C-alpha cells in the first residue's frame, strides 16, 4: 500500500496510518514530496511505525533539468540528500521518473544516478495526456517502443517497472530467448542515441549485472486501485472515473464488484488492437491512455504501436 499525495507528509496522523496498515499485514510505502517536512526524524518515526519503502521523483539527470521539470529551484539537490537519508534510515528506495519527449535523452544520466543511490526499483512513468500531462510533450508510440526496448536492455542493472506502459510486458516476452535482439528488433535512432549515452555515462567500474526482474503484472483495476483523499476509488490515479466510495462500501467489495473494474479485468472486450492482441491478458494496454485520448477506458491503447499477429 502506497500512501501518496500531494504530499502524505502533510498528514499529522501519518505514523498512526502506517502503524495501522502494518498491524493489518500490509507492506506500507510512502511517496512524499521533497520539502522541508521530509526530515530524518520523520523518516525514522515512520520506519519505526513499520514503513518499508519510500519513492522519490527524479525527472532529470541534472539540477537544471529536474528543477525545470518540477518548477522548483534546488529540488534536485534536496532530492539527492533525501534519497541518501532514506537509504541510511533503512528503507527500500524507489525512484519515479516521468518520460516526456523533452526529457527522454536524460534517461541514461538518470539511470546512473539511480544506480549510485542504491535504488531498489526504478519506476518509469509514461505520460498520460491528462491533467498536467496535457501540457507536457508525450512520446509517440514508436518512440515509446524504442524507450521500452532500451529499458529492457538495462534491466539487468536495476529492477525496472513501467507505469502506464504495460506493453513493457509484451516486449519482455517477445525478447525472451531471442539471441540476436538487434536483428529481431532493429535499433532505431532514439534507442541508438540512448545506448550511446548509456555507454558514456556508465564508464569506469562495470556496474553489477543481475537477473532482470520479470515486469510486474498489474494494470488499472487489475491488482491495483487508487483511493483519493475523500475516499473515492478509481482504477488508477490516471484514470479519473470513480467506481465507488469507501464511505459507502468496503474497498474489497468495490474492487471485486464495480462494473468498470470487472470490465478492465476482461481484456477480450477491449477495443481495436488491444481486444484482439495475443498479449492482451498479460498487457491489456494503458487504460488511462485509452481513456485520455478516446474517452473510453476499454478502447485501444494509442500509445502502443504493436500490430497483433492474430489481427
Residues that bind ligand SF4 (CB under 6 A): 167, 170, 273-274, 277, 279-280, 283-285, 301, 304, 306, 308
Residue with cell 478509481: 234
- E strand or H helix that includes residue 160: strand 159-163
DSSP one-letter string for 162-211: EES-THHHHHHHHHTT-S-HHHHS---HHHHHHHHHHHHHT-SSPPPP-P
Query: Shortest gap between Cβ of 285 and ligand SF4 (angstroms)?
Result: 3
Helices 40-48 and 75-89 pack at an angle, to 10 degrees, of 40
Query: Shortest gap between Cβ of 257 and ligand SF4 (angstroms)?
Result: 25
Query: Shortest gap between Cβ of 130 and ligand SF4 (angstroms)?
Result: 17
β-partners of residue 57 are 96
Of 198 and 286, the one with the shorter C-beta distance to ligand SF4 is: 286
* DSSP-derived pairing of the beta strands 159-163 and 226-227: unpaired
Q: Yes or no: say if 243 and 263 are a contact pair by the CB < 8 Å rule.
A: no
- E strand or H helix that includes residue 289: helix 287-294
Query: Shortest gap between Cβ of 288 and ligand SF4 (angstroms)?
Result: 12
Of 112 and 273, the one with the shorter C-beta distance to ligand SF4 is: 273
Nearest to 130 by CA among 284, 274, 238, 20: 238
Nearest to 198 by CA among 140, 156, 168: 156
Nearest to 148 by CA among 131, 168, 134: 168
**Closest residue to ligand SF4: CB criterion:** 277
Of 106 and 164, the one with the shorter C-beta distance to ligand SF4 is: 164
Of 126 and 306, the one with the shorter C-beta distance to ligand SF4 is: 306
Of 191 and 289, the one with the shorter C-beta distance to ligand SF4 is: 289
Query: Shortest gap between Cβ of 298 and ligand SF4 (angstroms)?
Result: 12
- Alpha-carbon dihedral sign for residues 193, 142, 225, 36: positive
Query: Shortest gap between Cβ of 282 and ligand SF4 (angstroms)?
Result: 8
Query: Shortest gap between Cβ of 286 and ligand SF4 (angstroms)?
Result: 7
Of 140 and 200, the one with the shorter C-beta distance to ligand SF4 is: 140
> CA–CA separation, 180 vs 185, rounded Å?
9
Query: Shortest gap between Cβ of 189 and ligand SF4 (angstroms)?
Result: 22
Of 32 and 284, the one with the shorter C-beta distance to ligand SF4 is: 284
β-partners of residue 122 are 95, 160
Of 135 and 309, the one with the shorter C-beta distance to ligand SF4 is: 309
> CA–CA separation, 162 vs 236, rounded Å?
14
Amino acid at each position: 500500500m502506497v500512501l501518496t499525495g500531494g504530499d502524505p507528509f502533510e498528514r499529522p496522523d501519518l505514523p498512526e496510518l502506517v502503524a495501522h496498515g502494518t498491524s493489518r499485514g500490509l507492506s506500507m510505502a510512502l511517496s512524499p514530496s521533497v520539502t522541508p517536512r521530509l526530515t530524518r526524524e520523520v523518516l525514522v518515526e515512520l520506519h519505526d511505525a513499520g514503513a518499508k519503502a519510500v519513492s522519490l521523483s527524479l525527472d532529470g539527470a541534472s539540477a537544471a533539468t529536474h528543477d525545470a521539470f518540477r518548477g522548483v529551484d534546488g529540488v534536485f539537490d534536496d532530492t539527492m540528500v533525501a534519497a541518501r537519508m532514506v537509504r541510511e534510515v533503512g528503507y527500500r528506495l524507489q525512484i519515479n521518473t516521468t518520460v516526456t519527449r523533452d526529457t527522454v535523452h536524460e534517461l541514461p544520466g538518470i539511470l546512473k544516478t539511480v544506480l549510485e543511490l542504491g535504488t531498489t526499483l526504478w519506476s518509469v512513468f509514461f505520460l498520460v495526456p491528462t491533467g498536467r500531462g496535457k501540457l507536457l510533450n508525450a512520446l509517440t508510440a514508436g518512440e515509446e517502443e524504442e524507450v521500452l526496448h532500451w529499458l529492457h536492455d538495462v534491466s539487468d542493472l536495476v529492477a525496472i517497472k513501467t507505469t502506464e506502459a504495460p506493453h513493457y510486458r509484451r516486449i519482455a516476452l517477445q525478447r525472451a530467448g531471442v539471441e540476436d535482439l538487434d536483428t529481431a528488433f532493429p535499433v532505431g535512432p532514439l534507442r541508438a542515441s540512448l545506448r550511446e549515452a548509456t555507454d558514456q555515462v556508465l564508464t569506469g567500474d562495470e556496474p553489477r549485472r543481475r537477473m532482470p526482474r520479470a515486469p510486474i503484472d498489474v494494470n488499472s483495476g487489475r491488482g491495483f486501485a487508487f483511493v483519493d483523499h475523500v475516499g473515492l476509488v478509481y482504477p488508477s490515479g490516471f484514470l479519473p472515473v470513480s467506481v465507488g466510495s469507501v464511505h459507502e462500501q468496503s474497498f474489497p467489495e468495490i474492487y471485486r464488484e464495480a462494473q468498470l473494474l470487472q470490465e478492465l479485468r476482461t481484456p477480450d472486450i477491449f477495443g481495436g488492437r488491444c481486444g484482439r492482441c495475443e498479449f492482451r491478458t498479460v498487457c491489456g494496454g494503458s487504460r488511462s491512455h485509452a481513456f485520455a485520448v478516446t474517452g473510453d477506458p476499454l478502447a485501444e491503447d494509442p500509445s502502443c504501436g504493436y500490430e497483433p499477429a492474430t489481427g
